[in-house]
Amino acid sequence: MSTVKIEAFVGSRLSQLINALPGEAMTVRASNVIDFCQKMSGEMWTGYVDGKIVCCWGLIPPTFLSNQAYLWMWSTEGIREHQFLLVRHSQRQIAEMLKHYEVIVGHCRVDRPDSQRWLRWLGAEFDAPEGPFRSFRIRRKAPWVLRYRHEPGAR
């Protein structure tokens, strides 16, 4: 069985780490986007399966006091092979993020149904597509909503 490990990223340049991976050469534009996301992120994590990096992501709060943050993610093709292992870990990470932010927002490519399905598993609600992207949001559940749903006879 494969081993999944999630850890905080504390390296220098994420784009250099990604470009050093076999078969993962990024375009200059993609490297610049990752570098920008790294600079803006308050927190970043990397996901490993059997010691190999398969994804990384971070949160970008618009302000220090904001109650929402923008979620970005980069992944390898290896994530598809281990998606069910990583979903549970992703759900835990989202739960931790929602302790700090009421809403997590982001964009997902319209031509990535796997990514949209993954985000739905994490509780994402999508807006209508705008060009090649769809906006999403993942909201913190209010404690009273969770209690209400578990009461006998609740709908």
State the first-to-last Cα distance of the chain, in angstroms, to the nearest integer.
Answer: 38
The pair of three-digit structure tokens given for residue 8, joined into one six-digit string: 């905080």
Strands 103-109 and 68-75: parallel
- pLDDT higher than threshold 90 for residue 102: yes
**pLDDT value, residue 144:** 54
Beta-strand (E) ranges in the chain? Answer: 4-8, 43-49, 52-60, 68-75, 103-109, 125-126, 133-139
**pLDDT value, residue 152:** 56
| Tens-place pLDDT, residues 9-47 | 887 788 888 888 888 888 899 899 999 999 999 889 988
Query: By C-alpha distance, which of 136, 7, 127, 15 is closest to 74?
Result: 15
- pLDDT higher than threshold 90 for residue 150: no
Q: How many helices (H) and strands (E) does the chain have?
A: 6, 7
| Tens-place pLDDT, residues 54-86 | 888 999 998 888 899 999 998 887 777 777 777
Kindly list the structural domains of the chain, giving each domain's residue range(s) and its CATH number in brackets, ordered by start. 4-150 (3.40.630.30)
The reported pTM is 0.81
Q: To the nearest whole percent, how much of the chain has pLDDT over 90?
A: 39
